[in-house]
Structure 1
Amino acid sequence: MIHNPILPGFNPDPSIVRVGEDYYIATSTFEWYPGVQIHHSRDLVNWTLIRRPLERKSQLDMRGNPDSCGVWAPCLSYADGQFFLVYTDVKRFDGNFKDAHNYIVTARSIEAEWSDPVYVNSSGFDPSLFHDDDGRKWFLNMQWNHRTESYGGSPKHPAFDGILLQEWDPASRKLTGPVKNIFPGSPLGLVEGPHLFKRNGWYYLTTAEGGTGYGHAVTMARSRTIDGPYEMHPDTHLITSKDHPEAALQRAGHGQYVETPEGEAYHTHLCGRPLAPKRRCTLGRETALQKCVWRDDGWLYLESGAPVPAVEVTPPQPVERIERPETIRRDFDDAALPPEFQWLRTPEPNRLFSLADRPGHLRLFGRESLGSWFEQSLVARRQEDHRFRAETRIDFAPDTYQQVAGLTHYYNRHKLHALGVTLHEKLGRVGTILSCAGDYPDSRLSFPSGHGVSLPDGPVDLAMEVSDNDLQFFWRPAVGGTGEGSGEAAWQPIGPVLDAGVISDEGGRGEHGSFTGAFAGMFAFDTSGRGQSADFDFFDYRRL
């Protein structure tokens, strides 16, 4: 069976395309670099991350982008022998303005080097590109109306001012002809995330509505002409959990239609899996896939007949589902970062880390603080399980309290827990906890372990264990091997049990206040400006 979510952890806004026997899904990456995750499958059951195409300064530079800005809602398509990727780089989050700039990049294959971007427009976010059967191409995006009070965790319907359509000329690489507002949305409001496809002479438009929280939905409409008027689906919403709080997959919305070579219908959507008692989705917005059917009325429905998404879904054909390994160990022996790791904002990673300076180690150069929007040495991977343990070994010799490096459970500058190695004037080298519990806008650090505990000289092992809403940090001297049962010293807890549920979309100011997901990773900062480095020998991620 297809088991949802098919892409666990922070993988929102899934755009899907089939090319021959191959399926590709592109998802949003926001402020994480490189931009856009593309997963591949040949059976719709098993998916593999194969590319992050926005990897050069000429394509993407997000230094200064606020949290939850950057790359929003990419659209991946294929026509004329090449792939097209449309994306937004959002430069503003709070306040009336968004400053959302839309671009197109292309490549002959997913794995190839992608082109430099072509600027398209800035009228709103969530762009998509539709290739009509007559050869013409059409660009869509939602229109942002700044004349309303819509900000952060309080989106207002008037700001989401319909879906715009304009022709794209591939020869001149510019928009051409009139701009038309083709769809105002349903009464649910907050219309965004448009995708067009054509079937039996109808243009079908799917959009995301209701905001990306618990009122989210995939709305469907159709028209005989591309610029409308569009009539609404008999049920209005193709996919939603908004009226079913008991459903396992919540926050369902924002996805795209795809057909198998045999004509079977599927639709992606984002979703969240909340934890009791506060209904916080600690894994962020994940990607799911639903089986659909076409009825005699010419409308698409979920296979079950109801709009509520299913966890288990029938695949095109029976296939063995490959389970993720229980433990993933990375020893940093290769010249490139392991594929699951990313960093924040900057296209100049050589300023943040090196895998060559000390072979077999990831060296992080202490840059700006954990709260920086510009140059932050933080290398991390997605949390993919409600219960997991992460371990690392660090070799770090700070000479001031302004130099800190260690292990972190990170969402953004307002929502983080970190176990850091640093220097205390009286205690010497210590391990201490830095925590920010999402109390926006007064997002002050707290220090749950006080000055921390004294550490011996040399490398030390750090660990964190997350069990649903609880997080506990640990440390031990690194005196032997690098794994369980290797004769090492016992793990010692440090600090109290922390609220891991804060590291979620709903933590802090609530479900519309931020849109990324939880990461586990390594960090180093040096606010003295001297760039003190920290070496990490390995990183283990183990689901529990």
Structure 2
Amino acid sequence: MIQNPILRGFNPDASIIRVEDDYYIATSTFEWFPGVLIHHSKDLMNWKPLTRPLDRVSQLNLRGVPSSGGIWAPSLSYCDGTFYLCFTNVVGRKGVYKDLHNYIVTAPSIDGPWSEPIYLNSSGFDHFLFHDTDGRKYLFNMQWDFRKNKKRFAGIIMQEFCPNESKLIGEIMLITEGTDLGVTEGPMVYKKDGCYYLLVAEGGTGPMHAATLMRATSVGGPYEVDPDYPMITTRNTPDHPLQNAGHGSLVETQLGDWYMVFICSRPLPDGSKLSPLGRETSLQKVTWTPEGWLRLAAGGKQPQLHIPETELTPQPFDPDPIRDDFDERKLSVHWHTLRVPADESWLSLSERPSYLRLKGRESLTSLHHQSLVARRIQSFTCEIVTCVEYEPQAFTQMAGLVLYYDESDHYYLRISHDDQLGKHLAIVVSDQGQYDELDTYVPIPEGRVYLKAAMNFDQIQFFYGLDGQSWQPMGPTLYSGNLADSYQSKLSFTGAFVGLCAQDLRGTRLHADFDFFDYMELDA
């Protein structure tokens, strides 16, 4: 059986394609750099992160973007030997406005090189490039309307894209205003048996989320709605293990079967409905009815936690190593930095071989120049261990292990210096932007310090040690729900990360050397 989610942890807005016998999924990365994560599979069951195409500032400038801004809902497509990737960079998302810019990049191979971006429009997000069988190309995206007494989600629009001129041309057409489910977004377009099928996300990305199918005989419509919409949702099943199901993308296998990937969330079992792992990607088989509509192969509208294996030949990948010894010249594909690329001015794998050196910069609340490198938390039960050498001389210098949602909500086990305590460990908590230091300060000697975080569903416990063998608990048990996208009803879209960081608020860039990083999942 295939166990959902297939892409665990923060991996939302999946856009799937097949190129011959290879399957690729692109997912959103928001404020994390490099932009867009592309995953690879041969069998739809076994997946591995493959590449992150937006890897330079000339393609993607995230400095200063708000949390849960940046990359929204990328879409992959392939035509005549070229890969196309559409992406949105949301630079402002507060209030009634959405300041955003839509681009497209291309590559001859999924591994690149990916081109410089072509600007498309700024009218709305979630754009998708459809390649018609007559050679013409059309861009679809939702339209944002900020005006008083207007629907913010103002329908799906379409405009032709001319690759020779590298721009949109012709009339902008409103092709659907969606259904009574509202919040229509995430358009994906497919052509089958002479019909154009439009798959949209509706209801918002929370508990009312859904996916709805429409069709037309012309690419510009009019589009009729599936009479039994929505196609998938958990809006009426609040105890389902895969909540917030919607925002789908379709693929046909080389054997002629159809599958849909879609967003979902797995809440903590404490009844809070909070999902610190963020929005994940799951898979369902779908079948066509005689009337030409899609239905879940298992029946009903709710996704399955387990589905039968595909008929494709299983091709598993080697498991990722638990330990990163920082022996390579580049960071692995699992690592992300916050808003800015990793460069030798603040992150080095060569100044001290087999160590990750971070030079302290701005605070954990900065939207500009943080020295933070982190990876997704993908399991409710996991342990993270690192070893750091760091000798701060002032309270303005800090380094350590951070469990991070955003600048407002994080837990930080950090080494710093105090006038009375000298070098010491403490836990910093930011809860909805309220700074606190827990009343646990532990003086530590010069030299190496081992730091550990253990997550067990809703509980997080920090530990420290001086020899890497014996551990002392550090501070109280902390609540993992603080690292969820809907904590205190805030509207955010990412997931919990665990990472290494350093700050130097004096501006002297004192460095911290991390010897290794262990990430071990105890149960998926």
1:152 is matched with which residue?
A: none
Matches of 2:317 and 2:161 in 1, distance apart? Answer: 42
1:307 aligns with 2:282: no
Q: Which runs of 4+ in 1 moved over 2 A?
A: 318-327, 347-352
Kept in 2, the 8 Å contact 1:260–1:316? The answer is no
Alignment of 1:198-209 (within 5 A): 198-209=191-202
Task: Give deviations 1:288-314, integer Å, cap 9, x for gaps.
Answer: 111000010110000012111111122
Matches of 2:352 and 2:248 in 1, distance apart? Answer: 43
Kept in 2, the 8 Å contact 1:141–1:165? The answer is yes
Kept in 1, the 8 Å contact 2:105–2:114? The answer is yes
2:466 is matched with which residue?
A: 477
Matches of 2:517 and 2:146 in 1, distance apart? Answer: 44
1:249 is matched with which residue?
A: 242
1:239 aligns with 2:226: no
Of 497-506 and 167-176, the range deviating more from structure 2:
497-506
**Structure 1 residue aligned with 2:345, among 351, 362, 386?**
351
Kept in 1, the 8 Å contact 2:43–2:315? The answer is no
Matches of 2:173 and 2:224 in 1, distance apart? Answer: 16
Aligned residue pair count = 521
> Secondary structure of 1:501's match?
helix
> Secondary structure of 1:502's match?
helix
1:462 aligns with 2:451: yes
Alignment of 1:58-457 (within 5 A): 58-148=58-148, 158-275=151-268, 276-317=270-311, 322=316, 325=319, 328-347=322-341, 349-437=343-431, 439=432, 443-450=433-440, 452-457=441-446
Kept in 2, the 8 Å contact 1:148–1:159? The answer is no
Q: Which runs of 5+ in 1 are unaligned?
A: 150-156, 483-487
Displacement of 1:315 in angstroms is 3.1
Matches of 1:327 and 1:476 in 2, distance apart? Answer: 23
Kept in 2, the 8 Å contact 1:57–1:348? The answer is no
> Secondary structure of 1:256's match?
strand
Displacement of 1:352 in angstroms is 2.9
Of 36-45 and 338-347, the range deviating more from structure 2:
338-347
**Structure 2 residue aligned with 1:528, among 497, 503, 506?**
506
Q: CA RMSD in A?
A: 1.5
Kept in 1, the 8 Å contact 2:408–2:430? The answer is yes
1:495 is matched with which residue?
A: 475
Return closer, same or farther for 1:140/1:251 CA change in 2, 3 Å cut-off.
same
Displacement of 1:176 in angstroms is 0.6
Displacement of 1:100 in angstroms is 1.2
Aligned partner letter, 2:328: D
Displacement of 1:339 in angstroms is 1.9
Return closer, same or farther for 1:354/1:55 CA change in 2, 3 Å cut-off.
same
Displacement of 1:240 in angstroms is 0.8
Q: Which runs of 5+ in 2 are unaligned?
A: none
Aligned partner letter, 1:473: F
Task: Give deviations 1:190-240, integer Å, cap 9, x for gaps.
Answer: 111001001111110011111111111111111111111111112211111
Kept in 2, the 8 Å contact 1:191–1:209? The answer is yes
2:36 is matched with which residue?
A: 36
1:22 is matched with which residue?
A: 22
Matches of 1:281 and 1:498 in 2, distance apart? Answer: 15
TM-score normalised by structure 1 residue count: 0.94
Task: Give deviations 1:319-344, integer Å, cap 9, x for gaps.
Answer: 55859859611110110112211111
Task: Give deviations 1:278-297, integer Å, cap 9, x for gaps.
Answer: 01111100011110000101
Matches of 1:418 and 1:225 in 2, distance apart? Answer: 55
Matches of 2:174 and 2:311 in 1, distance apart? Answer: 40
> Secondary structure of 2:235's match?
coil
> Secondary structure of 1:508's match?
helix
Kept in 1, the 8 Å contact 2:52–2:333? The answer is no
Kept in 1, the 8 Å contact 2:403–2:496? The answer is yes
Matches of 1:110 and 1:448 in 2, distance apart? Answer: 47
Matches of 2:356 and 2:415 in 1, distance apart? Answer: 16
Matches of 2:277 and 2:316 in 1, distance apart? Answer: 21
Matches of 1:329 and 1:322 in 2, distance apart? Answer: 20
Matches of 1:522 and 1:37 in 2, distance apart? Answer: 20
Kept in 2, the 8 Å contact 1:30–1:516? The answer is yes
Identical aligned residues as a percent:
47
